[in-house]
Chain A
Amino acid sequence: MSKTDYEMVVGLEVHAELSTDTKIYCSCKNSFGSEVNSNCCEVCTGMPGTLPTLNRKVVDYAIKMGHALHCKINNVCKQDRKNYFYPDLPKAYQISQFDIPLCEHGYVDVILDEECHQKRIGVTRIHIEEDAGKLIHDDSFSGSLVDFNRCGVPLIEIVSEPDLRSPQEAKAYLDTIRSILQYLDISDCKMQEGSIRCDVNVSVRKCGSGEFGTRCEMKNVNSFSGAMRAIEYEANRQIEVLESGGTITQETRRWDDHRGQNFLLRSKEDAQDYRYFPEPDLLTIVVPEERVQQLREEIPELPGEKLLRYVKDFGLPYFDANLLCESGEKRALFEEIAAKGGIDLKAAANWLNGDITRILNEKNKTLAESSLSADKLIGMISMIEQGTISNTAAKTVLEEMFWQDKEPSEIVEERGLGQINDDSALQAIVGDVLQKNEKVVMDYKNGKTNALGFLVGQCMRATKGQGNPAALRELLLKQLG
């Protein structure tokens, strides 16, 4: 049998740090990048006698995610202790949720390709828990040090059903989860700061088989592209084992992205017994039904729905719609433009995804910091559509109105950027250009058709970019016979 006779079955556990102001069980700031061990207190470091108090914002955020993923919300639930020893876990237990998660039995529709094919991925559960600290290893000293700053940072763990069948599906799922977190504004989703991480469960089975194979879990997957590589590698490893007559044993493996390989961490026999039991220091979480509903109403239109609407209602290509959907600011501006209407929305999307994004990136600024508005952009694009300015001139207009409180028409007037549409004026220029470029004219007449482009360029140059290139082209063709 060959690789193609097998199907991979993948489930993902995504850990996302929530962007609440304070940590989950104490009043320390929930921030990244503080000096080592400066942003922790006796509570988040589990000093003797201290007690946790629950940050209700964490519950709200998790419920929002639950709504977004169509989950049942367990508005009465508890927290449990997960007991294990590790130096980054100062209480030697993590406060998490065991048998009654805050949210469960949900799903998310994931867009798989540019044709907008969708697949529904089941969401087993979402629960809240606290993050652990970080070990610091350095060649400058022997042993390891612990940074407790991350202790008590609020996390949600989102567990998917084993519904994913390829690395691409996994990537699409992860991208969707990330953009939902961003749309809800409940997580920074900064991969490089570890604010979103995932564990990967992989098994393989013969195509057509109704039963699942034995799964292996992979830890230390630190990026979405890494997840794809890890899944591909692990599925191949399992197929090789099976093909050579072996069997898969349930185990936990560690992904090494540098080497593109994974390694055995522990087998099932060595699996840790976390000895979960209800956290006696915290009360049962009770969220009134009205609050659950209120949070539901706060859920905005989510990325999948929005993207499909852009494609369907505005006729945008998938690629453009997807790019627009990535930024909250661009989406908002685009929707404002769409609501006002009157211009080609594809052109608006092009400007937003193109020059506007470029300028923002160059200056490392946000739209909110600029002077751009829907009206200004509509004004600018209308002038292009009406032939008042050229695309080239529009770029100058954009640069100027980007940071200044000026209307596009003002800029066009001040800088004399208006397009010359007057035939008699253009006629004179065309005559002049033809006279000065006799050799090129000869070439053209001898069959070098691309010489026309050069002549149009020369005319544009002579009009300082203000000539209407279409009109110029027409006049040139007429003259050249």
Chain B
Amino acid sequence: MQLYEKTAGELHDMLRKKDCSASEAVESLIERIDAVEGKVHAYLTKTPELARETAKKVDERLAAGEELSPLAGIPIAIKDNICTKGVRTTCASKMLENFVPPYSATVVHKLEHAGTPVLGKLNLDEFAMGSSCENSHFQNTANPHDLGRVPGGSSGGSAAALAAGECTLALGSDTGGSIRQPASYCGVVGLKPTYGSVSRYGLVAFASSLDQIGPMGRSVEDVALLYEAIRGMDERDLTSAQREYEPLHGQLDGGVRGMRLGVPEEYFGPGVEDEVKEAVRAQIGELERSGAVIVPVSLPSTGYALSAYYIISSAEASSNLARYDGVKYGYRSENGSSLEELYLNTRSEGFGDEVKRRIMLGTFVLSSGYFDAYYKRAKILQGRIGQEFASAFDACDAILTPTAPDTAFRFGEHTADPLKMYASDICTVTVNIAGLPAVSVPCGKDKNGLPIGMQIIGRKFSEKTILTVAKAVETLRGGYHSLPQIG
């Protein structure tokens, strides 16, 4: 087994025992990237020199006998909508093609502090809007399980890089499922943390009230490890929660015996493929056999969630993305002679179709005369969905659903029909609307050998519970699996 195939936990043990150096780990990853990136196209920017530098410092500290933090020397890659000082941060948009932020996101500071070598910046749907990475201005990322298929999105680059062994850990962001759906499609683990548990400072905003940075990895323990490193109050993000967090790493082996796991029928409807339903139900059966108590729960407003989500997220996006006007930074159109033309041409030329679609949708729902009919009603629905989850959690400790209604689809399969693409988020958006944590963990494969993910949703700040369930699923399936054959 090569170093690039190891989990973060395994690498950390090896580093501590001096079975390998951080530099060796980083070199292994860089070689792997060189070998498969031509097929996967997960990276928008590679920073091997930065990674080598960080690894070297970790090795020096190791040599000096210093105790290492669990993430020291563990190679990571970062979704390209998270600001990295001095390294361009494009959001996969022509608009920010050459944008080099003079500051780093809080999570990036935390990684620096931990001594985590950063391999580069990962592809996404432009401004995190999409479910396939096909909305990237720069490139399509391929699913390592089948190069003719999408990795999901918007954190498709993160999921694909993990699945291809091009990084050991990855950061993604999740506004409506953008960590969980690609994790499901690529057979990796992805956690969308409770809203407010990870600082959003430096995450280029899509929908501020829903966005959350989250950890992705090939094992549940890795995800827990990274989550522990990035969570916590940040005085630069007023929406980040001030609270004590419990330790997670090594604390997830409690199993599901006696745990009450809720299953909402609304998430197993006709929009979900049979093979997905079967795999998830089979896994639920396994958990029941392990001692979990399966309870039916009801989330009746689920059917309206997608509409509410697209109204709220697009409304916020239309405002958040208004700053890309060609005045101060980013792309500026050379055409036009008036201020109005500068705005129009810059934004028409700089944004892709999906981003423009959402800006127009969001602008519309906030317009005077329509605000009450759309935005206000969506916010009411948001409150109701939260209430329904709260009552469901009276009856159970966690809720189990499919992560995505399907498995990875082929390039171009959904691009002609935005609504079909939006439906990919049907199982995930409620979690963002209610501000809850949820993790996607692999739970089977379809007939084409494509991964299927199970989503485990918890109460606010119950990451330990849902990761414990996820770990139980992972253990039942024989632990973390080897990388797929690429190509």
Contact = CB atoms under 8 A, between A and B. Distances in A.
B322 A49 contact: no
B298 interface: no
Interface residues of B, number: 43
A49 B366 CA distance: 22
Nearest to B329: A47
A83 B237 CA distance: 22
Contacts of A53: 235-236, 238
Contacts of A277: 315-316, 319, 366, 371, 375
Nearest to B207: A280
A146 B328 CA distance: 9
A438 B115 CA distance: 106
Given A47-B102, A48-B91, A83-B322, 16 more contacts: A42-B101, A42-B102, A42-B103, A48-B96, A48-B204, A49-B82, A49-B83, A49-B200, A51-B201, A87-B327, A90-B327, A91-B322, A275-B367, A277-B315, A277-B316, A277-B366
27 contacts: A42-B101, A47-B102, A47-B103, A48-B83, A48-B96, A48-B205, A49-B89, A49-B105, A49-B200, A49-B202, A50-B103, A50-B201, A50-B202, A51-B238, A53-B236, A53-B238, A90-B327, A90-B328, A93-B319, A276-B366, A277-B366, A277-B375, A280-B209, A281-B205, A281-B208, A281-B238, A283-B238
Contact of A51 (B89, B237, B315): B237
A275 B368 contact: yes
A51 B391 CA distance: 33
A85 B99 CA distance: 21
Interface of A: 42, 45-54, 81, 83, 85, 87, 90-93, 146, 273, 275-277, 280-283
B200 A51 contact: yes
A92 B325 contact: yes
Contacts of A45: 328
A52 B237 CA distance: 7
B45 to A, nearest CB: 16
Give 7 closest A-B pairs by Cβ, nearest first: A92-B322, A275-B366, A280-B209, A280-B208, A48-B204, A49-B202, A49-B204
A113 to B, nearest CB: 43
Contact of B339 (A87, A273, A281, A283): A87
A385 B307 CA distance: 85
Contacts of A51: 200-201, 236-239
Contact of B325 (A48, A52, A85, A280): A85
A50 B91 CA distance: 15
B447 interface: no
A282 B238 contact: yes
Nearest to B375: A277
B91 to A, nearest CB: 8
B238 A48 contact: no
Interface in B208-251: 208-209, 235-239
A93 B318 CA distance: 11
A28 B204 CA distance: 21
Interface in B318-346: 318-319, 322-323, 325, 327-329, 339, 343
B323 to A, nearest CB: 5
Nearest to B366: A275
Nearest to B211: A280
B128 to A, nearest CB: 12
Given A275-B363, A277-B366, A48 B319 contact: no
Contacts of A276: 366
